[in-house]
Structure 1
Amino acid sequence: MNIIYMEEVIKKLEEHDKQFIAINKKLEEHDEQLDIIARTVAEHSERLDRIEEKIDGMDAKIDDISRVVSVLDGFAGFVKKNDQEFVLVNHNVRSLEDRVEVVEKDVKQMKPALGMS
């Protein structure tokens, strides 16, 4: 009975060895997959770092653009104000020209009456 019992124990141990070998193989596959994942994460981290650097550079450019836009807004306001003043001055000049024409006609009519041909 000892021999039969020993054979069963050996048989069970061999089955366990096969299971351990299969488990070990799976663990090796998982190690390879984890290595791939770790490399991918490292690559993505590097890419994110480069993207952050670019974004930081863009923030500086955006600040520069904001300052330029602010100056342009001020300039646009200045131009608009000057344009409005130009329209007003142009209107006043036309009114004065019309008045000068009336005064010139009146003067022409008054000269003969005053003896100033």
Structure 2
Amino acid sequence: MQVERSLALEVARHEIAVGTPLVVRVRDVSGRPIEGAVVEAGSGAKRKRTDVRGRCEFTFHAPGFWKLVARKADTDRVAYDPATALVRAVPASTVGRGPRIASR
């Protein structure tokens, strides 16, 4: 019998500048890092595997929204449910800028 565990996908920021590295961490629901999880960005165009700390890094070179999906292959004992996160890559000149206020 397999135990089901949900993965949790943590991103350092949900909005980053194009060309800036983004650290991603995959954990299980109890907070333990998941080594060897595969994290895909977009429709599988970018794919990374997590290290022993459950971490990997992405750099997006085009602006837009990127859906991240973390998966881990099931074992004899554990079945993993995937996790998702959404990240927005924006031109460097717009990161950290507040909302626009219309002038009269």
Using the size of structure 2 for normalisation, the TM-score is 0.17
> Which protein shows a greater Rg?
1
Using the size of structure 1 for normalisation, the TM-score is 0.16
Higher helix share: 1
Higher strand share: 2
Comparing both chains, which one has the higher relative contact order based on Cα–Cα distances under 8 Å and sequence gaps of 6 or more?
Answer: 2
